[in-house]
Structure 1
Amino acid sequence: MYQPIWDISSWDVMGYESFFRSDWNSNPEEVFQSAMKTNHIYELDTKSIIKAASTFHRVYETNKTMLFLNIFPSTMLNPEFFSFIEQLIHQTTISCQHIVFEINESEKIENTQLFLEAMLRLKNYGFLLAMDDVGKGETSIQKLFELKPDFIKIDKYFSNDLSFSDKKQKFIRFLVDVCKDHGKVILEGIEKPEDLAAAKSLGVPIAQGFLLGKPDKMEFS
């Protein structure tokens, strides 16, 4: 499934985030938790990435939008990961500059230095990077400065009733200001028009959520 991500200053779709779905289990989180428990998270993560890219390439050939791919930190630190990256580059027509690896914050980054080196190698290939669920997971402002992601995705908690919450508005305004030289902010979980309007007034450049489009299969003409 793919969900559109909107540039709310120009009202253009700037990319799509891919979501894993399975007929075997309707809860993707349970599938990945099961893979973690059986030490198969690397295999599931990389196969999911290949599937998402191979399905998306037909859309990419039409409009050259970005593809956001979720990835676990442990996958990036796996010894076989960069052999996989070479395989991905040769198997897809999507340019590296249009693929954003979205780092899953549900898994702790155990070795920051090794992780920084893996991020730098990905950037050297031309890939872009995003930190997911900022404000909820492990990411601190210090870590944002250290990791220097291209996109900072703010957790959906902060978009829920944003228009009524002074504290959430102050937090969003702070992040937009402090991150303006360190990556583009994306606010996730937009479901109400008034919260979208509040996000735009706070200077949020990019937004995502059910109001702007639900995850769905790609339609090909």
Structure 2
Amino acid sequence: MIRFKPQPNAQPKIEYETGHWDRNTNLPNQKYFLNHFGNQISEETTFLEEHFSFLISISNPDAIISQERNSYFESIYVKVADRLKKHLNRNDHLFRIESDKFLISSLQIDSETKAEWFAECIRMLFDFPFTYEEREFHLNVNIGYTKFDLKSGSDMNALGILKEALHRSCLIGPNSLFYYDQNAIITTYEKAKIEIDLRKVLNRNELEIHFQPIIDLKENRFFSMETLVRWNHPEKGKLLPGSFISIAESSSFIKTIGEWMIWETFQYYENSILRSENISLSLNISPKQLGDKNIFPLLKEASDYYKIEPNNIILEIVEDSFDFRKSQISKVITSLKDYGFKFAIDDFGKGYSSLGRLIHLPIDYIKLDKMFLFNYFQTSTRAVITSMVNLVQAMGKSIIVEGVENETQHNLLKELNCDFGQGYYYSHPMEIELAEN
């Protein structure tokens, strides 16, 4: 379990050496990381096989750039370093790699799930402003991270991979995280092959729908079924969405898959036991689909054709889809809401999210990202979840907590008066026949 506790000796114990130490933050620098860190860790932990490292980039809002000179930047970065130090423990090694970049190598993390939570905790540290000369500054942060076998590669290679991970995080947008899975990076050839195969899936009838239930925690009953796509690839076997959806998103084919999902799901729902039991369907809509002018006519036509009440359909979208500066998207969302469809924000809290924005968004449900529940016993996280539940319900919206994996978590959600839960504790995604049973 990850616990952030202030530790007076969190930084590596090394002797001062000119050129290897950042004088302002009192942290080892990039030169030290490249020349000495690997040897130091090998001496300290002979049993270590793998560890996770995180490269953190700080960017300054325009307000600071326009109002302050460069001399003030260093004072802000010193405060950033101090905040990071206070929230790391003795197994976390902190470096200042560049003026606006910090690196953490953690020897306490043994899984990708914990690494994701660790990165999210670091990101949340920047939700709070920094104060300098009685003024408050908000900073943006991006984090790229990956897993290393420290004894099998050079620190130069490690830093290069981390910089690539950070670059991909920045491409997503401010306050984003990116995990660089070195074992799953798709080559250009593999990506092209998957894209070619994707265009054949409908003719070959290779896609199928699975369902995962969402549970009403107050009435102890099925509330909704989220529809998920699976690809029965002729060579690779059954593929999860993570293996191909991002590739479909980068092309226009995501709209084709999305249209197929809508018609297939509605056709199934027309005479299903789910409909007779008043169990709704949740359907993921990609940002590209939502921005398509044909999405409202498509959903309206499908619901009319199969005589499905729109209020039985929940459209799950990511928060960035609610960009009301784009008049087309604003018009589509308003039209769908007026027609009766319901909306849910998916993965809320993953990356940058703002509860303040929710007041103005025409949504019915908020799906809280699984990472909040993963480390609920962290005192600060418990307070965040409790506050979120209270605020969301005060806004007249319902909250769905993702990632429920055991009875303890289930009971906690009931104690917190959460509305709905979803996760492996209730059921893994399942085929249509199993969902009916």
In the superposition, the TM-score normalised over structure 2's length comes to 0.47
Letter in structure 2 aligned against 1:12: R
Change (3 A) 1:72 1:138: farther
What residue is the counterpart of 2:385 in the other structure?
172
Letter in structure 1 aligned against 2:218: S
What residue is the counterpart of 1:112 in the other structure?
324
1:53 corresponds, among 260, 266, 269, to 266
What residue is the counterpart of 2:356 in the other structure?
142
Change (3 A) 1:7 1:111: closer
Letter in structure 2 aligned against 1:160: F
What residue is the counterpart of 1:83 in the other structure?
297
RMSD: 1.9
Letter in structure 1 aligned against 2:426: L
Q: Which has the higher strand share?
A: 2
Give % identity: 25
Task: Report deviation, 1:110.
Answer: 7.8
Q: What is the distance in 2 between the residues matched to 1:197 and 1:49?
A: 34
Q: What is the distance in 2 between the residues matched to 1:67 and 1:146?
A: 25
Would you identify which runs of 4 or more consecutive aligned residues in structure 1 move more than 4 Å?
none
Check conservation: 1:53, 1:92, Cα contact below 8 A. yes
What residue is the counterpart of 2:416 in the other structure?
202
1:11 corresponds, among 193, 197, 220, to 220
Structure with bigger gyration radius: 2
Task: Report deviation, 1:139.
Answer: 3.5
Task: Report deviation, 1:59.
Answer: 2.7
Check conservation: 1:32, 1:44, Cα contact below 8 A. no
Out of 179-188 and 77-86, give the one that drifted further.
77-86
Change (3 A) 1:193 1:101: same
Letter in structure 2 aligned against 1:112: F
Change (3 A) 1:175 1:151: same
Q: What is the distance in 1 between the residues matched to 2:362 and 2:304?
A: 27
Structure ranking higher on relative contact order (CA contacts 8 Å, 6+ apart): 1
- Equivalent position SS for 1:29: helix
Check conservation: 1:156, 1:190, Cα contact below 8 A. yes
Structure 2 residue runs without a partner (length 5+): 1-209
2:246 corresponds, among 27, 33, 53, to 33
1:184 corresponds, among 398, 416, 421, to 398
- After the TM superposition, which residues 91-106 of structure 1 pair with which residues of structure 2 at under 5 Å, given as runs? 91-105=305-319
Letter in structure 2 aligned against 1:185: I
Out of 30-39 and 207-216, give the one that drifted further.
30-39
Letter in structure 1 aligned against 2:217: I
Q: 1:80-99: per-residue Cα shift (whole Å, max 9, x none)? A: 22221222123323311110
In the superposition, the TM-score normalised over structure 1's length comes to 0.90
2:343 corresponds, among 129, 133, 140, to 129
What residue is the counterpart of 1:21 in the other structure?
230
- Equivalent position SS for 1:211: coil
What residue is the counterpart of 1:214 in the other structure?
428
- Equivalent position SS for 1:78: coil
Structure 1 residue runs without a partner (length 5+): none
Q: What is the distance in 2 between the residues matched to 1:15 and 1:153?
A: 13
Q: What is the distance in 2 between the residues matched to 1:136 and 1:19?
A: 20
Aligned length: 218
Q: 1:147-203: per-residue Cα shift (whole Å, max 9, x none)? A: 1310000001112242x2222221111111111124100001100111111111112
What residue is the counterpart of 2:171 in the other structure?
none
Q: What is the distance in 2 between the residues matched to 1:3 and 1:40?
A: 24
